[in-house]
Structure 1
Amino acid sequence: MQNTKLLLTSLTLVGLFALAGCSFPGVYKIDIQQGNVVTQDMIDQLRPGMTRRQVRFIMGNPLISDTFHADRWDYLYSIQPGGTQRLQERVSIVFDSNDQLVGLAGDFMPGVSRDEAILGQDGSSPAVATPKPSEQPKAEEPPKPGSLLEKIQHEVDNVETVPVPTPTPLETSPQ
C-alpha cells in the first residue's frame, strides 16, 4: 500500500514536470530577435566608394568581422515570432584594399523593396523583380519657377563665402 502511494505520487510528479515543458494553446510566446536589424532603407543609402566609417554610420557595427576576411563585414538578423519558424536575413558588405565599399551580397538588393521582390514589379511573379543593370536613373528636372525648391536653390547659389581667419602664431620667448 505504501509502495503504491509512493509510486503514484512520483508518477504524478513526473507527469506534471513533463507537462510543464509542453506548450498549451493560447499561451503567449515572445518574439526572439537576434543580430543586426537591416532595412531596405539602409541598403539604399549605401553607395560604391563609401569608407568603412560611412558604412558603419549607416549600418551599425557588423555582427561578424572575420579575421581571415578583413575586407568583408557580415550582418545577420534572425527572428522567431511567437515560437513559430525562425526567419533569417543576411547581408555581406565587401571593401577593397583602400577601405572603400565595392559590393554587397545577401538577402537585400539595392533599389528593390521587399514588397516588389515578393510580388514582382507588376504583381505577376517574383522573378520579374530582379533589377536591370542597363536602367539608368533619370536626370533631375530643374525646380519649377516660384517653388520652394527653386527658392532654396537660389539661396544656396548666392551664398557668399567668408574666409576663415587663420590665427597668428604665439611668440614664445626663451627662458
Structure 2
Amino acid sequence: MQKALILSCSLLLGACSYFPGIHRIEVQQGNLVTQDMLNQLKPGMTKAQVRYVLGTPLLVDTFNQQRWDYIYRLEKADGELESKTISLYFQNDKLANVQGDMRPGAPAESGPTAADKAQ
C-alpha cells in the first residue's frame, strides 16, 4: 500500500511539468549592453570611461588585458534563446576596436520617444 502511494505521488509530481500554464521564468545572464550604450563609445576612450558606459566586463582575459568581452544571454520562458557577444580591443589602454553582434554608430532600436507620446 505504501509503495503504491509513493509511486502515485511521484507520477503525479513528475507529470506537473507537462501541464500547460505552468509558469516559467526568463533567465538573464551576463551584461545587458544596449545599442544606446554602444553608441556612446568612441575610439580613444580609456578603460575607465568604457567601464562607466558599459559596466564591468563579464570576461577579461588574464593573458590579454587588452581585450574585454561582454556576453549576454536570455533564455525566455518559451525556450527561445537570445545571445549577444561584444568584444572590445584596447591599445595602450585606449579603446581601439569593437567587434561583435552589435556595432557602435548603428541606429538604436527603440520605441516612441517622450516627444512622440506627447503629440
Q: Does 1:19 align with 2:23?
A: no
Q: CA deviation at 1:68?
A: 1.5
- The TM-score normalised by the length of structure 1 is 0.57
Distance 1:68 1:23 in 2: 46
- The TM-score normalised by the length of structure 2 is 0.81
- Listed as ranges, the matches of 1:19-38 within 5 Å are 19-20=15-16, 22-38=17-33
The Cα offsets for residues 30-71 of structure 1, whole Å up to 9 and x where unpaired, read as: 211111110001111111111101111111100111102210
Gaps of 5+ in 1: 116-175
Quick one: which amino acid aligns to residue 90 of structure 2? Answer: F
- Listed as ranges, the matches of 1:1-175 within 5 Å are 5-20=1-16, 22-96=17-91, 98-113=92-107, 115=109
Quick one: which amino acid aligns to residue 104 of structure 2? Answer: P
Distance 1:113 1:90 in 2: 18
Quick one: which amino acid aligns to residue 13 of structure 1? Answer: C
Largest Rg, 1 or 2: 1
Give percent identity, aligned residues only: 40
Superposition CA RMSD, Å: 1.7
Distance 2:18 2:59 in 1: 34
Gaps of 5+ in 2: 110-119
Where does residue 125 of structure 1 map in the other structure?
none
